[in-house]
Each structure stands twice: as C-alpha cells, then as structure tokens.
Chains A and B, each alone.
Chain A
Amino acid sequence: MQQEYDAFTKKYFRTDRFPHIWCPGCGLGTAIQAFVKAVEKSGSDLDRTVVVSGIGCTGRAAGYLNFDSFHVLHGRAIPFAVGLKLANPKLNIVVLSGDGDLFAIGGNHFIHAARRNNDLLVMCVNNFNYGMTGGQLAPTSPLESSTTTSPYGNIEPSFNLPWLAASSGATFVARWTILHVRQLINTTVEALGKRGFRFIEVLSPCPVNFGRRNNLPEGLDELKMYQKHCEVANFSDPRLADIKWSEKIILGKFVDQEKQAYEEKIALLSQKARGVKRG
C-alpha cells in the first residue's frame, strides 16, 4: 500500500520539492491530490498534460506537479494557456489557480477565454481571500467577512463564480469543496474528457489567513461549515449559486454542453483560407 502510494506520488509530484509551502489546515493538498487522481483515472497522456498557474498559494501548484508546468504572472495563466493550446492543439491544458488570481487581476482574461470557448480546463481553488500575502479581501470574500483589508467587515458583494463562468460561455461548470473529494475527482475526470472552456470551482479552507478572522479558526471548522450548508443539486440555476456563510451553498454541475471549441474553429478557418486559393 505504502509502496503503491509512493509510486503514485513520485509519478505526479516533484517530490524533490517537498515539503511544500502550504499551511496546516489548508485545503490545497486535498484539492491537488484530487486533481492528480482524476488525471490518473482519466488515463490522460501525461506527456501532453500541461499545467499553468498564476501567482498565489494555488499558483504554487504548478511547481509541485510533475507535468510540463508553468508558473507565470499574477492573473495571466489563462492567456499563457491560450497561446500554448493554440500553438499545439494536441496539448491538454489545465489552468490551476486561485480566486484572486483568476477573478480579480485576471478576471478579464477569464471571461474572454470563456466567451471564445478556448479549449482549457480552469480549476479555481477558492479560499475566499489572498492567502499568500496574508489574508486580504478578494472578489470572492463573502459580505461582512473580516480580512486585513476589510477590518470592519467586507462591504463588497462577491462574485458568484459558476454564474460568471456560465454567463460568459463556459461549456462545463461545476463546484465542489475539498470535503467532497470523490465527487470532485469524478467531475474532474469528466471535465478532462470534454472540450471547450471548462470551469471547476473548488471551495477550500484557509484557516491561517481567512478562517481565524471569520470564526473558522481550524481547517476542520470550515469543513464542518461545508457539511452543514452545502447542498448537492446538479443543473441548478447558477444565478442561485451565491455564497453566503449562513445560507445554503449549492454544489454540483451547473452546465454541461457541447460547443465547438475555438481551436476547432481555427482549424476550419485555415481550411477556408487555403480553399479560396484553389477556387
């Protein structure tokens, strides 16, 4: 069992980089573990699987994963991934990054890649704050939450990420938490097998920088909160997927549709442009 585990770990992680930098109680280990288990289960070609991360705690994922992996600028993982995929459509690209990275500084790239239906799987580990810089307000921080830059309580409404993704044109939209590991793995396997712009939000505790300022001082406290408030309801209206601490949090798949990916259209465009010459 241990041997099997070690072999699995060596296959998917750069073990020479351990120990990792993530804090005790952080959900990232679970989220990333779920991701690699999904890769294993999906039978993806590891040589062609590429991970791109931005900056932040989740952004460090690329550095620990034993794929071709890119740790790029804050907020810019998506455009980098767009270029990689267009230049070599045989690659399977996964963008792994955090909520601040993807939806504050990188928000514009997210909505446009979703609109174009670029063939990417974007996984956002949402811990409701900027963890790496010490717990500042993020565009996902719930109303009233206390962070180092909202010491009197957050007055900004937060993004509803499934709705944002769905309304921007994503072909696949789902949300799980790191408490729902099995579901997260299965959904990721499913998403890896599809084309187009796919988005999975993974709710994850950040006890050290967020939880302790918001009555969830231990990692486990936030998991208990998930257990209490989360409700699995596939194909719910994503408009109802807002996250408020004291109300129900909808999990599951929101969108799953077939749409021609941008890369397929580019290939057709090339045929069209060359065809004109023959005619």
Chain B
Amino acid sequence: MSIQSPRSVSFLSGNMALVEGAVKAGCRFFAGYPITPSTEIAESFARRMPQIGGVFIQMEDEIGSIGAVLGAAWAGVKSMTATSGPGFSLMMEHIGLAVMLETPCVIVDVQRGGPSTGLPTLPAQSDVMQARWGSHGTYEIIAVSPNSPNEAYTLAIKAFNLSEQYRVPAMILMDECVGHMYEKVRIPTEDQITILNRKTPHDREHYLPYEPNDDLIPPMAIAGEGFHFHVTGLTHDERGYPVATREAQNKYVLRLSDKIRKNEEKIQEVEQFLTEDAEIVVVSFGITSRPAIRAVRLAREEGMKVGLIRLVTIWPFPEKIIRDIARKAKGFVVAEMNYGQIVYEVERCARGKPVILSPNLGGEAHTSEEILDKIRQAK
C-alpha cells in the first residue's frame, strides 16, 4: 500500500474527499465504528493516519468513539469521528459534553434513511434537527452540509476551523449520495487554504480554564503542560469548578450560546443562485440542492422568476439572510429529504410569505420535476 497524497485534481468519493480535507485541516486523530454509509471514512483514516503520524482507532461503539475524540482534543490534537444515523444517536450525550467542556471536534453524519435501522444504504437528510437539538440542554453547535465531493473536502477544513475557533463541536451533515458519489475534486494549494487553531493560554500561574476573552471564547489549555486544570460536565465557574446555582447556570450557558449567536453572521455561508429578481425562492442543501438547481432552471424556462438559496452552513441557521430575501420574495419552496425540518426554520423567517415543503422520506434524491411541481404551486 503506497502513501497516497491526493493529486491537484483527483477523482474521489465524498467520503474519501472529506478525509483528505480533514487531513489538510490538521486532523491527526480519528476514532470510529463501522456503519454504512460512512464506513469508507474510517477505512480511509485507517490507511492514512499511520502514514502521517496520526492515530486511527476502531472503538467498541460510537459512544466510545466520540469519547476518545474528546479525550484526544484535550491532549491538543485535532480529532474527529464519522458515523450515520444510529451511531449519531448514540453520540448525543457526548456532543453535550463537548459543548459543555468547550471541546473542538468534528463529527460527520453521513445521513441515511431512518428512523432506527431504516435504509442503511440509501440517503436521507433527516438528522438536521437532531444535529441541532439531539443532546439535552440549551446549547448551540455548528453544522455544514456539502453537496459534492469537492465541497466535502473544503467543508472538512471549514468545520475544523470553526470548531477550533469557537471551541464547539462542528458537524458535517453529509448524505449517502454525496458520501458515495465520485467526482472531480480540486485539491487547493497551500496558499488557497487557511488553517485556524484554538487559542492557547500561556500564564500557568493565573490560568482560569473558563475565563473568556472579549470574544466570549476562553483560551484552551491541554493536558500535560503543567496547567493543572480541572474541567467537568457539571455547570461550572471560571475556575472550571462545579457550581449548582441558577446564577452560575445562567452565566455559563448564556455564554456557551452567545459565543455562537453573536458571531453567527461570521459563521454562516449560503450560496445564492438567481435570487436577485426571484419571486419564488427555493431553499435547499446537500444533495437535494442539485436537483433543485435544475428545477430553478426549468422554472425559468417556463418564465417563472425563481432562485435558489443553498445552505452551506445549516446551523446556526442563516436567519437574517432568509429574512432579507423574504422582503422581496413572494414565497418559498423548501426541498429537503425528510418530512419537514428546515422548512420550519424558513417559515419563521419568511415574514408571513407562504412556504411550501417539497418533502422526500429518503431512499432516493428528489427529482427536479418534483421540486418544479412545488414551484408551480407556490406561483
């Protein structure tokens, strides 16, 4: 087996491209458990990590996988795991811990049909709300959603950067289609990539692990460097010590959310297509955005003024962007591979304009015609 650094233009699946993007971002620790349709990510890391001095470990389950990822992050290594719906469900408690300890880490969910074992080999986009709210408590996370292998590469880097910058778990919500499709991937050159790393503290004497800077993000010490810090999943104060009071809860949990909310416009990314004069705006993400683009073109051919907003980052939801579009638009069509999740987010930002769902319970991506039908209805 030879070491395979990708060529400047490679032919890769979404799962493989994601691995290369993560490696480029500096990921050197992967812990995972086999699950369709994400397994190629674990397999690629098993081959790749020993070549670059990183660690791959196959854990006993998804709970152990993300637990090890958090541990590795606290040893100072960029780390990630990848799974699909059933494994993602098992990871939820640790996602809460990652939020509570402010641990940078990346979690990939290559979505398949659910609930339960569902459609292991077929796509869905039905874990969108789970990604947002799946762990208990009040919190914010970041989620991105690539619609091509090329973007799986670039968004892997973005996810690591955001996670490091904001000390929050970042999720990559792929779907089986993007994970398994092979396409041309342009590997960017060094000068085309920015790699961000977490802030680190220097003053061992006065270090308080949860004392934030003005940007609401505290520098993060790592184990083994003499800081002798303590962290806990209990609500804690600046010292990292547990405090069971309403005041401590209010102060800490507000900051956890506000560090994302107050920076959401810096985090959010959407792609707009023909929205300038659009009366009907289609909102979509991931694989569904591809038939949606064609649906917009077909609608334009029929003389309808239709555009598309593709959510590149799903969480935090680009509320302001949708609100702005809603000033001019007459209505929205939301195409997603579920029975209505993001549609409710769009609805609350639509200024009362009608919002029509183009649902799909999973198994196969939408056809453009299905979405076009909904556009005609919205008209």
Residues of chain A having any CB pair with chain B under 8 Å: 14, 16-17, 46-48, 50, 52, 62-63, 66-73, 76, 78-88, 90-91, 108-109, 112, 266, 269-270, 272-274, 276-277
Contacts and interface: CB of A to CB of B under 8 A. Distances in A.
Given A68-B227, A71-B233, A79-B71, A87 B64 contact: no
B71 A80 contact: yes
Contact of B75 (A84, A272, A274): A84
Contacts of A84: 71-72, 74-75, 223
Contacts of B2: 276-277
A14 B71 CA distance: 22
Contacts of A86: 29, 55, 57, 68, 71-72
A193 to B, nearest CB: 19
Name, among B47, B68, B229, the residue most crowded by chain A CB atoms within 10 Å (CB to CB): B68
A277 B59 contact: no
Contacts of A14: 230, 241
B63 A76 contact: yes
B63 A88 contact: no
A265 to B, nearest CB: 11
28 contacts: A47-B225, A47-B226, A52-B71, A62-B230, A66-B228, A67-B228, A69-B231, A70-B230, A70-B232, A71-B230, A73-B93, A73-B94, A76-B63, A76-B67, A79-B71, A80-B67, A83-B73, A84-B72, A85-B75, A86-B68, A87-B29, A87-B71, A88-B76, A91-B75, A273-B3, A273-B50, A276-B1, A276-B3
B252 to A, nearest CB: 15
B148 interface: no
A83 B241 contact: no
Interface in B62-103: 63-65, 67-77, 79, 93-94, 97
Nearest to A83: B71
A80 B233 contact: no
B71 A90 contact: no
A131 to B, nearest CB: 17
B129 interface: no
Given A50-B223, A78-B64, 6 more contacts: A73-B94, A79-B63, A83-B29, A86-B29, A87-B71, A112-B59
Name, among B94, B221, B223, the residue most crowded by chain A CB atoms within 10 Å (CB to CB): B223
Contacts of A78: 64, 67
Interface in B2-20: 2-3
Nearest to A272: B50
A151 B221 CA distance: 47
A274 B48 CA distance: 10
Nearest to B234: A71
B352 interface: no
A152 to B, nearest CB: 32
B6 to A, nearest CB: 15
Given A109-B64, A270-B50, A276-B1, A68 B69 contact: no
Contact of A73 (B222, B230, B233): B233
Contact of B230 (A63, A90, A109): A63
Contacts of B55: 86-87, 266
Contact of B67 (A16, A62, A73, A272): A73
B5 to A, nearest CB: 10
Name, among B65, B72, B73, B229, the residue most crowded by chain A CB atoms within 10 Å (CB to CB): B72
A68 B242 contact: no
Contact of B224 (A71, A91, A108, A270): A91
Contacts of B224: 47-48, 50, 68, 88, 90-91
Given A68-B228, A80-B68, A83-B79, A109 B60 contact: yes
A78 B67 CA distance: 8
A274 B52 CA distance: 8
Contacts of B74: 70, 80, 83-84
A56 to B, nearest CB: 13
B258 interface: no
Nearest to B57: A86
Closest 9 CB pairs between A and B?
Answer: A83-B71, A79-B67, A83-B68, A273-B50, A87-B75, A87-B72, A71-B232, A83-B72, A84-B71
B70 A69 contact: no
Interface in B210-247: 221-234, 239, 241-242
B61 interface: yes
Nearest to A17: B241
Nearest to A116: B57
B31 interface: yes
Given A68-B228, A83-B29, A269 B50 contact: yes
